[in-house]
Each structure stands twice: as structure tokens, then as C-alpha cells.
Structure 1
Amino acid sequence: MKYLVIKCGGSVLENLPRSFYEDIVKMHESGEWTPVIVHGGGPLITSLLKSLNVETSFVNGLRITNHQVLDVVEMVLSGSVNKEVVRNLMEVGGKAFGVSGIDGGLLTAMPTPDAKTLGFVGEVVSVNNTIIEGIVNQGFIPVISPIGIDGYGQRYNINGDVAASAIAKALGANLCFISDIPGILIEKDGTKKKLDKVSKAIIEEMIQNQTIYGGMIPKVKAAIDGLVHNIPEVGIINGFEKNSLLDYVNGKKIGTKIVLEEEIA
């Protein structure tokens, strides 16, 4: 069974076309690839926090999370957004099953090294594969919200890109980040150019010189971490391009492929 972990950020989820969900269902029904969806929900979380007059801020693309923010994060991710993705798949004839990383201890977490600054932001310690495999074996597409839990029952807000990478590592899956841009862009001669392929060293240099910044930082770091830990392939594609997901799994030249140095031709 070939797994494909599909990470959809909150900023793209709000506007993804119906055809994107149709492509996931087609992929699932073909049996060649088994999709597993991990989603974010950042803009909706920010909007709700604002309406509740709760301050929110970010460090290197990660949201500082206290108890109050954590309650809102869980409510939005595991409630509103998770069920919306499940509904969207069902509307196009798919079978989907939504779970939180807390359910069954799917995502065991621990605080990040920057816990003093970030609060209840977590790293994934382990992934309970049997839950994902159980959902898949029942004929459903798993839809996972990135909330983790430790052995003491403490919840953690896990960046969706980090969670997706951890799940892909655990499943030996390919990892595909869905964006609203065609891939990683650089400016050349006054115009923006897409990188078809980029290495770990170049990404680290682009973070250093701030070509890559904000929310793209955890995305590319999660991609590199996954490759180092045997994820076969990581791609970033535009989910708004027609058939982009199917083109990606069929090996067409689309988006940006992130690779380790030795793989660059």
C-alpha cells in the first residue's frame, strides 16, 4: 500500500475548489495511492481569537499558545475545520473519517525546545499507525487535525506541517504540501521563478537570507526532516491548478520537489 500524506493549510482550505476533493476521491478509489489528509486552520483560529479579544502572535511561523489559545485552537481544528474537510469529501462521493491527534493517542507529543517562548506548542514523539491503518482498512480516507497529547493528558498545538511530516515518516509515505502558489518561488531578473527542485543546503541558505520566511519555514524544515528520516519524496504544489494532485502522483513535472543534496542531478 502506497500512502500519500496530503497537508492542506488553513489559508488554502477556505477556497480549495471542488475538483481538488474530487481528485482525492479518484485517487482513493483507484487503489494505487492511499490518501491521508492532515489539515491546518490558522486563519480561522486567528479570526476567532480576534473576536474573543485574545492576543495572538507568532515566532518563526509558529503560534505562541497559552491555555486560552489552546482551547480555541482545538475547537477550530478538531471541530470546525476537521468536519468541514470530511463534509467536502463526502459531498463529492468520498468516504472520510475525521480524527484528532488526541484520539486514541494518535499523536504523542512533547513540548518544543522553545516551550518557554511558545507555550503549549508540541513536537511529535510517536504516531499510532494502527489508528490510521484501521480507518483505511474500513475504506475511509483519514482526515487528521494536528493536536497532540502527552502521557499526562496535556494537549499540544502541533504545526500542521510538522504533524504531516511525522505521520508520513511513520507510514513511509510520500508527503505533499498543498499551497496557493505553484511551489517555492525565487526572484530572478525582476520576475518570480518557480524552483522545480531544491536541496536541503539551498533551503537552509534561503531561510538564512530570508528568501523563505514566516509560515514557509516550518513547511520546508518539516520536509527536510522527513527526507532525512526516509520519506521517499516531498512536494509542494498548487491545489488550485486543475488536476495538480493527480498530475503529482502520476509523476508529472509539477510544483517544487524537495530533495537531499546527493539526489540532485
Structure 2
Amino acid sequence: MEYVVIKCGGSIFFQLPPAFYQNVAELHNKGEVQPVLVHGGGPLISRTLSRLQVETQFVDGLRVTTKEVLEVAEMVLSGTMNKQLVQKLQQQGGKGFGLSGVDGRLLQATQSDNAALGFVGTVEKVHVSILHHLVDQGFIPVISPICMDEEGNKLNVNADMAAAAVAQALQARLCYISDIPGILVENNGETKVLHETTSSQIEQLIADGTITGGMIPKVRSALQALKNQVPETVILNGLVADSLLSFYQGAAVGTKISLTSEVGYV
């Protein structure tokens, strides 16, 4: 079974057209590839925290997670976001099955070494037998990135990093769905999409401020995945019709990230 892990960002969730979910369902129903969705929910978490008057901070694009923030994050991610995504999939002919990294210890994590981040984790193990079982029953797994450590403590894991860990475990292609056409750079006075990029160029773009905020963990998780035998990663604009199908069919869409390749603009 060939898998593709699709990470759906919280910033684009409420903008995604029905065609996106149709694409996911079509990939699944054709039987040629098995989609697995991993989703975030940062903007809705921020709005909910604000409404509840809970302070929130970020360090290098990652949310600082106190116990109070973790409770809200789990409510939003494993509740609202996860079940809405499953619903939208099923409305377009997909058979979604929602779960979090806590369920069955699907995603086993350890707490970050950076104490400033609080209850933030790094995925150390993916129990892929759970995913294989769901797939065998005809489901499309939809995963919320709330995880658990060996002692049973819950941890918030960045969704980009969780998606990369799942892709590594499944040796699957990794596709980040965003609301932009890829990594944007200035070239000869024009803003263009960086069609292909490499690890060394990404570090340079981070250093010069071209890549900032939440894009930093996205591209670094992509590189880490590539180092761990993920065959291909790409950042796609989910608002463009059939961009997901075009990627799977080998078209030059979005920004393809490689360890080493030629750099190109479109």
C-alpha cells in the first residue's frame, strides 16, 4: 500500500473548497494511494484562548503550551477541528475516521528539551498498526496532533512535525496544504514561487528573514522527514482546484523540498 500524508493547516481549514475533500476522497476511492490526514488548528486555538482570556505566546513559530493552553488546544484540535474535517470528507464521498495521537497511543511523544515551550512534545514513535487497521477497514485516518508520553501525560505537538513523523513511519509522500502557492522569494525585483529548493537554501532563507513564523517548523519538519526516507515533500496551495491530484500525478506545483536539487522559480 502506497501512502500520502496530507497536512492540513489550521490557517486554511475554513477556506478549503469542497474540491479539496473531493480530491482526497478520489485518491482513496481509486485504490491507488491511501491518504492519511494530519491537521492543525492554530488560529482557532488562538481565538478560543482569547475568548477565554488565556494568555498565549510563541517561540520560533511554536506555541508555548501551559496546562490551561493544553486543555483548550485538545478541545479545539481533537474536538472541533477533527470532527469537522471528518464531516467535510464524508460529505464529499470519503470515509473519514477521526482520532488523536492519544488514541491507542498512536503518536508517542517526549517533552521538548526547550523548557520555555511548556507541554510541547516531539513524536518519538508512531504505532502504524493502528493506521493499517483503519485503512484495512476502508477508512481515511484523520489525526489530531495531541499526543501522549510513556507516563500517560498529554503533550501538544506541532502539526507539521506530527505529519512528518507519520510520513516517516509510513515511508509516504508528505504534502503540506497551505493558503499560499509555496515559498515566495524576491527574484529580479519580482515575487515568485520557489518551485524547488534545498536544505542549504532553506537555512539561508530563514537566516535572511524570507522564511519566518510558522513556515520555519514546516520547512524544517519537511527536511527532517526527507532525511528519514520520506521520498518527497511539497507545499501546496489548497485553494487551487485539483492541486493535490496534480501533485500526485507528478505535475510541477507548489514548492518541492529536497535535500539536494536544482533551485528553480515559477
TM-score in same-fold range (> 0.5): yes
Cα distance in 1 for partners of 2:154, 2:235 equals 29
Give the structure-1-normalised TM-score: 0.98
**How many equivalent residue pairs?**
263
For 1:76 and 1:194, how far apart are their aligned partners in 2? 32
**Does the CA-based 8 Å contact 2:111-2:149 persist in structure 1?**
no
**Which digits, 9 at most, give the CA deviation of each residue in 1:4-32, with x for residues without a partner?**
00000101011100010001001101111
Name stretches of at least 5 consecutive residues in structure 1 with no aligned partner.
none
Residue aligned with 1:252, SS: coil
Off by >3 Å, runs of 4+ in structure 1: none
- Does 1:60 pair with 2:60? yes
**Which digits, 9 at most, give the CA deviation of each residue in 1:175-194, with x for residues without a partner?**
00001111111012332110
Q: Which amino acid aligns with 1:97?
A: F
Q: Does 1:50 align with 2:88?
A: no
Q: TM-score, normalised by structure 2?
A: 0.97
Instruction: Give RMSD over aligned pairs.
Output: 0.9
Matches of 1:202 and 1:69, distance apart in 2: 35
The CA distance in 1 between the partners of 2:14 and 2:112, in whole Å, is: 28
Match of 2:170 in 1: 171
Matched, 1:4 2:4: yes
Q: Give the equivalent residue in structure 2 for 1:129.
A: 128
Alpha-carbon displacement from aligned partner over 1:79-108 (angstroms, at most 9, x marks no partner): 000000000011112111000000000000
| Alpha-carbon distance in structure 2 between the residues aligned to 1:182 and 1:34 | 24
Q: SS in structure 2 opposite 1:195?
A: strand
Partner of 1:188: 187
- Which residue of structure 2 aligns with residue 220 of structure 1? 219
Structure 2 counterparts to residues 59-208 of structure 1, below 5 A = 59-114=59-114, 116-208=115-207
SS for the counterpart of 2:15 is: coil
Contact residue 78 and residue 100 of structure 2 kept, 8 A? yes
The one-letter code of the counterpart of 2:230 is: I
Inter-partner Cα distance in structure 2 for 1:246 and 1:13: 18
Q: Could you say what secondary structure the match of 1:11 adopts?
A: coil
The separation in 2 between residues aligned to 1:189 and 1:172, in whole angstroms, is 38
Shift of 1:264: 3.7
Instruction: List aligned pairs for 1:226-237, cutoff 5 A.
Output: 226-237=225-236
SS of 1:192's equivalent in the other structure is strand
Gaps of 5+ in 2: none
1:187-237 alpha-carbon deviations (Å, 9 max, x no partner): 123321101100000001111111101000000000000001110000001
Cα separation, 1, equivalents of 2:13 and 2:189: 30
- C-alpha distance after superposition, 1:52-86 (max 9, x if no partner): 00000101110000000000000000000000000
